[in-house]
Amino acid sequence: MLQYTGERVIPELMKPTNGLLLEHIARYYFSYPYAKGRMLDIACGVGYGTSMVTKANKKDLSEVIGVDIDESTIQYAKGKYYHPLISYQQGDAVDSDLPSKLGQFDTILSFETLEHIAAETQFLLNLYQMLKPGGTLVISTPFGRGRGKPTNEPFHVHQLTINEFKGLFHNYTDVSFFGQRGVLFQPLDTSHYFSLGIAVCRK
Protein backbone atom coordinates (compact mmCIF):
# COMPACT_ATOMS: atom_id res chain seq x y z
CA MET A 1 0.00 0.00 0.00
CA LEU A 2 1.36 3.41 -0.97
CA GLN A 3 1.69 6.02 1.72
CA TYR A 4 1.02 9.74 1.38
CA THR A 5 4.32 11.57 1.89
CA GLY A 6 3.22 15.17 1.31
CA GLU A 7 4.65 15.14 -2.22
CA ARG A 8 2.92 12.37 -4.16
CA VAL A 9 -0.81 12.94 -4.47
CA ILE A 10 -2.97 9.93 -3.53
CA PRO A 11 -6.58 11.19 -3.43
CA GLU A 12 -8.06 8.38 -1.36
CA LEU A 13 -5.51 9.04 1.43
CA MET A 14 -6.18 12.79 1.54
CA LYS A 15 -9.04 14.96 2.76
CA PRO A 16 -11.17 16.25 -0.15
CA THR A 17 -10.46 19.81 1.03
CA ASN A 18 -6.66 19.35 0.93
CA GLY A 19 -5.26 22.33 -0.98
CA LEU A 20 -2.54 20.35 -2.75
CA LEU A 21 -5.08 17.81 -3.97
CA LEU A 22 -7.46 20.52 -5.21
CA GLU A 23 -4.66 22.29 -7.10
CA HIS A 24 -3.59 19.06 -8.80
CA ILE A 25 -7.15 18.17 -9.75
CA ALA A 26 -7.65 21.69 -11.12
CA ARG A 27 -4.67 21.28 -13.46
CA TYR A 28 -6.15 18.12 -14.91
CA TYR A 29 -9.49 19.88 -15.40
CA PHE A 30 -7.57 22.68 -17.13
CA SER A 31 -6.14 20.15 -19.59
CA TYR A 32 -9.52 18.75 -20.71
CA PRO A 33 -9.88 20.95 -23.85
CA TYR A 34 -6.46 19.85 -25.13
CA ALA A 35 -6.78 16.08 -24.65
CA LYS A 36 -7.14 14.47 -28.07
CA GLY A 37 -5.90 11.49 -30.06
CA ARG A 38 -3.01 9.55 -28.57
CA MET A 39 -2.12 11.04 -25.18
CA LEU A 40 0.83 10.68 -22.79
CA ASP A 41 0.76 11.63 -19.10
CA ILE A 42 4.42 11.73 -18.10
CA ALA A 43 5.10 11.32 -14.37
CA CYS A 44 1.47 10.30 -13.96
CA GLY A 45 1.82 9.26 -10.33
CA VAL A 46 -0.96 6.97 -9.14
CA GLY A 47 -3.02 7.69 -12.24
CA TYR A 48 -6.00 9.59 -10.82
CA GLY A 49 -5.48 12.51 -13.21
CA THR A 50 -4.80 10.27 -16.19
CA SER A 51 -8.09 8.53 -15.45
CA MET A 52 -9.96 11.84 -14.99
CA VAL A 53 -8.91 13.20 -18.37
CA THR A 54 -9.51 9.90 -20.14
CA LYS A 55 -13.05 9.48 -18.80
CA ALA A 56 -13.93 13.09 -19.66
CA ASN A 57 -12.50 12.87 -23.19
CA LYS A 58 -12.98 9.20 -24.08
CA LYS A 59 -14.68 10.07 -27.38
CA ASP A 60 -11.71 12.20 -28.45
CA LEU A 61 -8.91 9.90 -27.26
CA SER A 62 -7.63 6.84 -29.10
CA GLU A 63 -4.99 5.66 -26.60
CA VAL A 64 -3.56 6.94 -23.31
CA ILE A 65 -0.23 6.03 -21.74
CA GLY A 66 0.65 6.97 -18.16
CA VAL A 67 4.34 6.78 -17.28
CA ASP A 68 5.97 7.05 -13.86
CA ILE A 69 9.46 6.23 -12.64
CA ASP A 70 8.26 4.28 -9.60
CA GLU A 71 7.14 0.70 -10.27
CA SER A 72 5.02 0.41 -7.10
CA THR A 73 3.16 3.57 -8.11
CA ILE A 74 2.48 2.12 -11.55
CA GLN A 75 1.13 -1.08 -10.03
CA TYR A 76 -1.16 0.97 -7.82
CA ALA A 77 -2.40 2.93 -10.85
CA LYS A 78 -3.15 -0.28 -12.73
CA GLY A 79 -5.27 -1.53 -9.86
CA LYS A 80 -7.01 1.67 -8.77
CA TYR A 81 -7.38 3.69 -11.96
CA TYR A 82 -7.91 1.15 -14.70
CA HIS A 83 -9.56 2.29 -17.91
CA PRO A 84 -9.63 0.33 -21.18
CA LEU A 85 -7.97 3.21 -23.05
CA ILE A 86 -5.10 3.54 -20.56
CA SER A 87 -1.90 1.57 -20.20
CA TYR A 88 0.41 2.43 -17.30
CA GLN A 89 4.14 1.87 -17.73
CA GLN A 90 7.25 2.30 -15.63
CA GLY A 91 9.71 4.66 -17.28
CA ASP A 92 12.22 7.43 -16.71
CA ALA A 93 11.28 10.84 -18.13
CA VAL A 94 14.95 11.59 -18.96
CA ASP A 95 15.67 8.26 -20.66
CA SER A 96 17.01 9.26 -24.09
CA ASP A 97 15.42 6.12 -25.55
CA LEU A 98 11.95 7.03 -24.29
CA PRO A 99 10.79 8.56 -27.61
CA SER A 100 11.74 5.41 -29.51
CA LYS A 101 10.04 3.25 -26.87
CA LEU A 102 6.77 5.18 -26.74
CA GLY A 103 6.45 6.83 -30.15
CA GLN A 104 4.67 10.13 -30.78
CA PHE A 105 1.55 11.65 -29.24
CA ASP A 106 -1.11 14.20 -30.13
CA THR A 107 -1.23 15.39 -26.51
CA ILE A 108 1.35 15.29 -23.72
CA LEU A 109 0.61 16.25 -20.12
CA SER A 110 3.45 16.96 -17.70
CA PHE A 111 2.29 18.30 -14.34
CA GLU A 112 4.72 19.03 -11.51
CA THR A 113 7.59 17.14 -13.11
CA LEU A 114 10.12 19.72 -14.27
CA GLU A 115 11.14 20.82 -10.77
CA HIS A 116 12.17 17.24 -9.91
CA ILE A 117 14.55 16.83 -12.85
CA ALA A 118 18.23 17.80 -12.98
CA ALA A 119 18.61 16.72 -16.64
CA GLU A 120 16.20 19.44 -17.82
CA THR A 121 17.53 19.62 -21.38
CA GLN A 122 17.07 15.89 -22.01
CA PHE A 123 13.58 15.95 -20.48
CA LEU A 124 12.45 18.83 -22.69
CA LEU A 125 14.03 17.21 -25.75
CA ASN A 126 12.14 13.98 -25.02
CA LEU A 127 8.86 15.88 -24.79
CA TYR A 128 9.49 17.67 -28.06
CA GLN A 129 10.46 14.48 -29.88
CA MET A 130 7.43 12.59 -28.57
CA LEU A 131 4.96 15.29 -29.66
CA LYS A 132 3.52 15.00 -33.15
CA PRO A 133 3.61 18.05 -35.44
CA GLY A 134 0.50 20.03 -34.56
CA GLY A 135 0.29 18.30 -31.17
CA THR A 136 -0.09 20.02 -27.81
CA LEU A 137 2.06 19.88 -24.68
CA VAL A 138 0.51 21.07 -21.40
CA ILE A 139 3.22 21.43 -18.75
CA SER A 140 3.28 22.96 -15.27
CA THR A 141 5.84 23.75 -12.57
CA PRO A 142 5.95 25.76 -9.33
CA PHE A 143 7.90 29.02 -9.27
CA GLY A 144 10.73 29.81 -6.91
CA ARG A 145 14.15 31.43 -6.59
CA GLY A 146 15.47 30.11 -9.87
CA ARG A 147 17.56 27.46 -11.58
CA GLY A 148 20.32 26.02 -9.42
CA LYS A 149 19.11 27.67 -6.23
CA PRO A 150 17.90 25.72 -3.19
CA THR A 151 14.24 25.29 -2.35
CA ASN A 152 12.33 24.42 0.79
CA GLU A 153 10.94 21.33 -0.94
CA PRO A 154 13.12 18.27 -0.28
CA PHE A 155 12.14 16.53 -3.52
CA HIS A 156 12.72 19.53 -5.83
CA VAL A 157 16.00 20.09 -7.68
CA HIS A 158 15.08 23.77 -8.01
CA GLN A 159 12.09 25.95 -8.83
CA LEU A 160 12.31 28.19 -11.88
CA THR A 161 11.46 31.87 -12.04
CA ILE A 162 8.65 33.01 -14.34
CA ASN A 163 11.13 34.28 -16.94
CA GLU A 164 13.16 31.05 -16.82
CA PHE A 165 9.99 29.03 -17.37
CA LYS A 166 8.93 31.22 -20.28
CA GLY A 167 12.34 30.71 -21.90
CA LEU A 168 12.02 26.93 -22.24
CA PHE A 169 9.69 26.64 -25.22
CA HIS A 170 11.21 28.54 -28.15
CA ASN A 171 11.05 25.46 -30.42
CA TYR A 172 7.24 25.49 -30.43
CA THR A 173 5.15 27.36 -33.00
CA ASP A 174 2.69 28.74 -30.45
CA VAL A 175 2.87 28.98 -26.65
CA SER A 176 0.36 30.38 -24.15
CA PHE A 177 1.26 30.88 -20.49
CA PHE A 178 -1.07 30.78 -17.50
CA GLY A 179 -0.59 31.30 -13.80
CA GLN A 180 -2.32 29.28 -11.11
CA ARG A 181 -3.38 30.42 -7.65
CA GLY A 182 -5.29 27.75 -5.81
CA VAL A 183 -7.78 26.34 -8.30
CA LEU A 184 -7.91 29.52 -10.42
CA PHE A 185 -6.02 30.25 -13.63
CA GLN A 186 -5.34 33.47 -15.52
CA PRO A 187 -2.81 34.67 -18.13
CA LEU A 188 0.69 34.69 -16.67
CA ASP A 189 2.38 38.03 -16.08
CA THR A 190 4.92 39.35 -13.60
CA SER A 191 2.60 41.99 -12.12
CA HIS A 192 0.72 39.34 -10.12
CA TYR A 193 1.93 36.66 -7.75
CA PHE A 194 1.54 33.11 -8.99
CA SER A 195 2.77 30.06 -7.14
CA LEU A 196 2.78 27.99 -10.31
CA GLY A 197 2.81 28.34 -14.09
CA ILE A 198 1.37 26.35 -16.96
CA ALA A 199 2.49 26.46 -20.59
CA VAL A 200 0.29 25.23 -23.44
CA CYS A 201 2.65 24.55 -26.34
CA ARG A 202 1.66 23.75 -29.93
CA LYS A 203 4.35 22.10 -32.04
C-beta separation of 162 from 168 below 8 A: no
Q: What is the pLDDT of residue 6?
A: 47
Per-residue pLDDT tens for 33-87? 999 999 999 999 999 999 999 999 999 999 999 999 999 999 999 999 999 999 9
Per-residue pLDDT tens for 93-102? 999 999 999 9
Alpha helix ranges (H) inside the chain: 19-31, 48-56, 71-80, 98-102, 120-130, 162-166
Q: What is the pLDDT of residue 32?
A: 98
Share of the chain above pLDDT 90, in %: 77
- Segments making up each domain of the chain, as ranges: 13-202
Q: What is the pLDDT of residue 171?
A: 96
Q: What is the pLDDT of residue 19?
A: 66
C-beta separation of 98 from 105 below 8 A: no
Per-residue pLDDT tens for 86-127? 999 999 999 999 999 999 999 999 999 999 999 999 999 999
Q: What is the pLDDT of residue 5?
A: 46
Residue type, 173: T
Number of C-beta neighbours around residue 79 at 10 A: 11
Q: What is the pLDDT of residue 4?
A: 42
* Domain 13-202, CATH number (from 3.40.50.300, 3.20.20.70, 3.30.1300.10, 3.40.50.150): 3.40.50.150
φ, ψ dihedrals at 145, nearest 5°: -80, -20
| pLDDT at position 193 over 90 | no
| pLDDT at position 2 over 50 | no
